[in-house]
Amino acid sequence: MSSSQVIEAPDLICQLDSVQGMVNALSAVRWKRYQDAMIELSEHGIVLIVEESGCLQAKVYMQSELFIRYEYNAQGRPRFGVSLGLLVDSLNTFSVPGHPSAIEIQYPGPDMQLLLKSTDSLDACIYAEIRTTIPETISWDYISEPVGITPHSFIVKSSALKEAIDDLEWPGSSIDITLQPSPPSVTFKGEGHGDLQIDFMYYVNTDLLTTFNCDRLVSHRYKYKFLRATITNLPSSVIKENRGSKFTIGRGGMLKVQHLVSVARLSDARPNANSTDQYQTRKIAFVEFFLKPEVDSDDY
Amino acid sequence: MKFKAFLTDSGISLLEKRFLPALDKLGKLCHLYFTRDHFILLHNLLSGDGIQAIAQFRTAVLFDDYRISSQNDDRIAFSVDISLLLRAVRSSAAVWTGDGGSTDSSDHRLQIKLVKKLPANSTQPMPFLSFETKGHRSAVIQDVPISKPLSRSLVLELQTALDAAQSLPATLVQAPDMHKLQGFVDRMRNLGDSLNVTISKYGGIHLQISTTLLTLGAEFQNLLVIGDRAHQAPNDQSLSAQARLESALVKGDAQSVQVSVKHFAKSLHCHLVKPDCTFYGIGDLGSCLTVIFQFFVPGSRQTDKSISFHCRLPVQNSGAD
């Protein structure tokens, strides 16, 4: 690296035509007030990662196609740390209800800040400079399944999932998720201050459980508070659009929960659903949670 | 010491729908100050800290048959719980209109007067502002407890504070779209406690929160200026908002003060008075941030001089010198 005085192009300058979508996507992984997040930039897009106590990790993927402009100039993949709450609250100040607010995001600024700037009004300009930090290393990374192995998975309507997880608050503590091939069904079972079992039967109600892949019985136990974190801050649009949330149980019981969050402008999302479906699918941010199962044995 | 008057239709609606709800948002107590020609609502003028607000009306705007007499040059002032006053005006107005009062205002009127009464379980008579509503079928009297009328010296102090608060900032800039401003401030208020407000002679208002982790601001440009103005250098437009701010401050074309975000958000509630225009300015030597609300004569673009309302926000410490 040369230390010349030539002003280099920043690693990333990108523009988004509606900030609200980004606020929604990032809010989905905000399960407590103070959370440090790591952001990784690449030519493919922006990934934000948060994790908690080595057991829960969440990633928000915003691919470069979501942006109306995406200029990536870095070598390698720059990473930086930022307070998630501060980032979401700052982005939120750019959002004007009922009005798509376009913003420009730049990294780094002169002092390694993350710079935000509104771009859609000549007479009013909102800007923010957010201090970034050297990122903490992420303690673990989800390794995708080896080729040829189909992991056990199912897709459940997001609203039904939210209801189920809300209901499971009552028994609390730990929740068993069981998939069984015959009859094809998914069971959420909570034991704590009493029992509660919620069954999703694949053939009985295909509206609720839209996809189901399972060839043998699998059952793992997860902490309720982490399971709840995957759904509590989901933007209302996800529940309304009710596309479905995908659960995948991989090796060792690693659970991946994936939601699709629309980041399309409101005006694009409104007109009749069919014609915009295709467009909207391109304007989707992926929000993924990874949960480690609770270990029963004494090597806790 | 005597005071008695009838509230007019427009007076009731001004107080009930606009001014009292706005003052209610600012705080609990308010001074009511009656003179021969004016009725003035004052918030926080004597206590010194917090937002000050002053609403002044010519008596004819609110009252009919206005009678006042006191040994202190016909001036009477007292403090009142603004929410009680609002409740009394609201329910009096409801009785009055519910009774068909507005059809013939000569018979059905809402009278207010200063009275001394012996409250239950008490041997000491207490002062009240009494609201008397006479409808066709009913008459309702509501007594709003008030403080003892202010002494001659306190009235003088109030008048002095009132006179001192009348000075206008040298530059006034018209506020941008209020919904936008309110939305912005509502969302930014979680991010910091202090707000730097800069007013430029070019017609700019710049709001900025700055903490160790974050600088967040909004710049509104091309707004109407009253008073001292200046022309912006043409190449300023190509600069960033922060650079423009710096340049204006360096040239002495802008002034900056730091106020509490909470106070600023509160002052936005004053929009409940439904002004026709709002202006922001900075007091002499950066003493305060002044918000002036302007009212037009209905159906015109002429300032209605019989109503005035403004707020002053205390400065936390002088901003950029």
Q: What is the ipTM of this complex?
A: 0.85
Whether residue A156 sits in one domain with residue A115: no
In a domain, A297, yes or no: no
Q: How far apart are CA A185 and CA B212, in angstroms?
A: 52
Subunit contact B214:A131, Cβ cutoff 8 A: yes
pLDDT at B88: 94
Structure tokens at B190: 């979680």
Q: From the list B180, B188, B218, which residue is nearest A125 (CB)?
A: B218
**Chain A CB contacts of B187 below 8 Å:** 89, 92-93, 95
Supply the Cα-derived Rg of chain A in whole angstroms.
21
Q: What is the DSSP letter of A251?
A: G
Strand positions, DSSP E, chain B: 2-7, 29-34, 38-43, 52-58, 63-69, 76-81, 110-117, 126-134, 139-145, 171-174, 194-200, 204-210, 214-220, 225-227, 254-260, 277-282, 288-294, 307-314
Domain B171-314 has CATH 3.70.10.10: yes
- Separation in Å, CA of B210 to nearest CA in chain A: 9
User: Is A90–B191 a contact, with Cβ atoms under 8 angstroms apart?
Assistant: yes
Closest in A89, A92, A96 to B180, CB measured:
A96
Residue at A146: amino acid letter: P
Those residues with Cβ within 8 angstroms of residue B53's Cβ, 6 or more apart along the chain or in another chain: B23, B26, B41, B42, B43, B44, B270, B309, B310, B311, B312
Query: CA torsion sign, B139 to B140 to B146 to B148?
Result: positive
Is B219 touching A (CB cutoff 8 A)? Answer: yes
- Residue A247, pLDDT above cutoff 50: yes
Question: Is the pLDDT score of A194 beyond 70?
Answer: yes
Is A298 a domain residue?
no
* Domain residue extents for chain B: 2-164, 171-314
Cα A141 vs. chain centroid, distance in angstroms? 15
- CB contact at 8 A, A30 and A51: no
Give A59's contacts (C-beta < 8 A, 6+ positions apart).
Answer: A29, A47, A48, A49, A286, A287, A288, A290
User: Are A124 and A169 contained in the same domain?
Assistant: no
* pLDDT digits 0-9 by tens, B59-118: 999 999 999 999 999 999 999 999 999 999 998 888 766 655 445 545 557 899 999 999
**A157 and A113, same structural domain?**
no
Interface test with B, best of A123, A130, A133 (most B CBs within 10 A): A123
Tell me which chain A residues have a C-beta less than 8 angstroms from the C-beta of B223.
Answer: 123
Q: What are phi and psi of B43, to 5 degrees?
A: -115, 125
Is residue B210 packed enough to be buried (19+ CB in 10 Å), middle (13-18) or exposed (0-12)? middle
For residue B181, the distance in angstroms to the closest alpha carbon of chain A comes to: 10
Could you tell me which of A67, A84, A71 has the C-alpha nearest to residue A135? A84
Same domain, yes or no: A167 and A262: yes
d(C-alpha A232, C-alpha B60), whole Å: 57
Do the Cβ atoms of A125 and B184 come within 8 Å?
no
Same domain, A104 and A183: no
Residue of chain A whose alpha carbon sits nearest to that of B241: A125
Q: Same CATH topology for B2-164 and B171-314?
A: yes
Is the residue at A5 inside a domain? no
Residue A146 lies inside a defined structural domain of this protein? no
Chain-chain contact of A125 with B191 (C-beta, under 8 angstroms):
no
Rg of chain B on CA atoms, in Å: 22
What 3-state DSSP class applies to A83? strand
Residue A100 near residue A20, CB atoms below 8 Å: yes
Q: Are B216 and A123 an interchain contact pair (Cβ–Cβ within 8 Å)?
A: no
* Same domain for A178 and A72: no
Task: Look at residue A235 and tell me if it is in a domain.
Answer: yes
Which residues does chain B have with pLDDT short of 50? 101-102, 105, 318-321
**Number of cross-chain residue pairs from A and B with Cβ atoms under 8 Å apart:** 63
Q: Which of A86, A96, A122 sits opposite B213 (nearest CB)?
A: A86
Residue A142 lies in a domain: no
C-alpha to C-alpha distances, B230 to A36, A221, B167, B200, B255, nearest whole angstrom: 45, 69, 21, 8, 13
Interface of A with B (CB under 8 A): 83, 86, 89-90, 92-93, 95-97, 117, 122-131
Question: Which of residues A77, A98, A130 is at a domain's end?
Answer: A130
Q: Residue A79 maps to which CATH number?
A: 3.10.150.10
A33 contact residues in B (CB cutoff 8 A): none
d(Cα B252, Cα B320) in Å, to the nearest integer? 11
Record: contact A130-B213, CB cut-off 8 A: yes
> Given B188, B213, B240, which is nearest A83 (Cβ)?
B213
End-of-domain residue from the set A130, A162, A187:
A130
Domain extent at residue A75 = 12-130
Specify whether the CB–CB gap between B289 and B257 falls below 8 A. Answer: yes
What is residue A202's predicted lDDT score, i.e. its pLDDT?
Answer: 85
State the fold for domain B2-164. Proliferating Cell Nuclear Antigen (3.70.10)
- Shortest distance, CA A210 to any CA of chain B (angstroms): 38
Q: Are residues A63 and A179 in the same domain?
A: no
A156 and A118 within one domain:
no
Q: To the nearest whole angstrom, how far is the Cα of B304 from the nearest Cα of chain A?
A: 29
Domain assignment present for A268: yes
Confidence of residue A15 (pLDDT cuts 50, 70, 90): very high
Q: What 3-state DSSP class applies to B64? A: strand
Residue of B216, B222, B239, B242 to mutate, testing the A interface (most A Cβ within 10 Å of its Cβ): B216
Region of residue B65 (phi > 0: left; psi between -120 and 50: alpha; otherwise: beta): left
Same structural domain, A121 and A160: no
Query: Within the 146-185 window of chain B, which residues sit less than 8 Å (CB to CB) from chain A?
Result: 176, 180, 183-184
Tens digits of residue pLDDT in A74-126? 988 999 999 999 999 999 999 887 777 899 999 999 999 999 999 887 778 99
Are the CB atoms for B65 and B5 separated by under 8 Å?
yes
pLDDT score, position B139: 83
Statement to judge: residues A159 and A279 lie in one domain: yes
**Among residues A130, A162, A180, which one ends one of the domains?**
A130
Task: Please tell me the predicted confidence (pLDDT) of residue A245.
Answer: 92
Please check whether residue A299 lies inside any domain of the structure. no
- Report the number of distinct structural domains present in chain A: 2
Q: Measured between beta carbons, which residues in chain B are less than 8 angstroms from residue A97?
A: 183
Predicted pLDDT at B128: 95
Residues of A in contact with B214 (CB under 8 A): 86, 90, 128-131
Dist. CA A157–CA A164, nearest whole Å: 11
Question: Which pLDDT score, from 0 to 100, does residue A36 have?
Answer: 93
Using a CB–CB cutoff of 8 Å, tell me whether B238 touches chain A: no
